[in-house]
Amino acid sequence: MARKISNRHKTVATIAAWLVAFLIFFPILYTIITSFKSETEAIAGFNLIPSWTLESYSEVQSQYNYFKPFMNSVIISIGSTILALIVAVPAAWAMAFTPTKRTKDVLMWMLSTKMMPAVAVLFPIYLIFRDLGLLDSRVGITVMLMLINLPIVIWMLYTYFREIPVEILEAARMDGAGLWQEIWHVLTPMAVPGIASTMLLNIILAWNEAFWTIRLTTTNAAPLTAFISAFSSPQGLFWAKLSAASTLAIAPILIMGWFSQRQLVRGLTFGAVK
């Protein structure tokens, strides 16, 4: 079984891979570095060693009240994920454990709703939100993100639940377990990892959603996506401040993303690649 791998092969692969990885990661790295520079340093030409000042971070907070959009992002992404799970867990559960001949069609139809281009319904949604007073409200954008991610959440949960062996239920029943005992002691512990992974991926997707969040919020409910987009009209020097705002906006999700690589593959391919 053991393929003989020469040390030379391994060294060459290591150098090549690290080089490519560095190039791909470079824009992120350079942003993080620049966030610790002063504004004059930031435009003084290429330099990988900052003076480690935190002034951009404090200015982003004092000038732009950064904490507010950050908290909006937290509330909206977690809120929409919880809402989606409340609707999706029972649905995925039922389809996985009591499938009928229509289950497949229902799943496919749900997937098809994900493919509707957002821009096609931009104006109707805008009108509906305006008439219901939901424009620039956290409730409105949370519900919106819940709806657009619901198909992915149901699909992911379904692929996880389907892997729970039904025989284990029969065994529990033989031992005299009732329905609630079955659900609580047997199925729930087996379903929790799948639900947790789904939750993680959905928070990432909601955090980074950049169409509805930009168009349906302005100031009050604006999450980081909308806030950062407004940074595009520079007034004076803003390179270091932009970097600080960007670093804070991507750091939490970058770390979550690193922990959810596998689930990402599964969730975004609707179980087609595992």
Partner 1 sequence: MATKHSSSLARFMIAPAVLLLLVWMIVPLSMTLWFSFQQYNPLNPIRDGFIGFSNYLLFFNNPAFIASIINTLAIVVSVLLITVIGGIFLALLLDQPMWGQGIVRILVISPFFVMPPVAALVWKNMIMHPGYGVFADIARFFGFQPIDWFAQYPLFSIILIVAWQWLPFATLILLTSLQSLDSEQREAAEMDGAGFVNRFIYLTLPHLARAITVVVLIQTIFLLAVYAEILVTTNGGPGYASTNLPFLVYQKALLEYKIGQASAGGIIAVILANIVAFFVMRAVGKNLDR
C-beta of 138 vs 239, nearer to partner 1: 239
The residue among 54 and 127 lying less far from partner 1, judged by its C-beta, is 127
Residue 192: CB minimum distance to partner 1, A: 18
HEC sequence for the chain: CCCCCCHHHHHHHHHHHHHHHHHHHHHHHHHHHHHCCCHHHHCCCCCCCCCCCCHHHHHHHHHHCCHHHHHHHHHHHHHHHHHHHHHHHHHHHHHHHCCCCCHHHHHHHHHHHCCCCHHHHHHHHHHHHHHCCCCCCHHHHHHHHHHHHHHHHHHHHHHHHCCCCCHHHHHHHHCCCCHHHHHHHHHHHHHHHHHHHHHHHHHHHHHHCCCHHHHHCCCCCCCHHHHHHHHHCCCCCCHHHHHHHHHHHHHHHHHHHHHCHHHHHHHHCCCCCC
Min dist CB 42 to partner 1, Å, is: 8
CB of 185 to partner 1, least distance (A): 19
Pick the closer one to partner 1 by CB: 138 or 260: 260
Minimum distance from CB of 103 to partner 1 (Å)?
9
Closest approach, Cβ 231 to partner 1, in A, equals 6
Structure tokens at 83: 């809402």
Report the nearest approach of partner 1 to the CB of residue 72 (Å). 13
Residue 139 has, within 13 A of its CA and on its CB side, a CA count of: 4
Nearer Cβ to partner 1 (20/196):
20
Cβ proximity to partner 1: between 181 and 229 the closer is: 229
Please give the structure tokens belonging to residue 64: 């732009």
Contacts of 149 (CB under 8 A, 6+ apart): 80, 81, 84, 202, 205, 206
CB of 116 to partner 1, least distance (A): 7
Residue nearer to partner 1 on the CB measure, 141 or 154: 154
For partner 1, which is the closer residue by CB, 15 or 54?
15
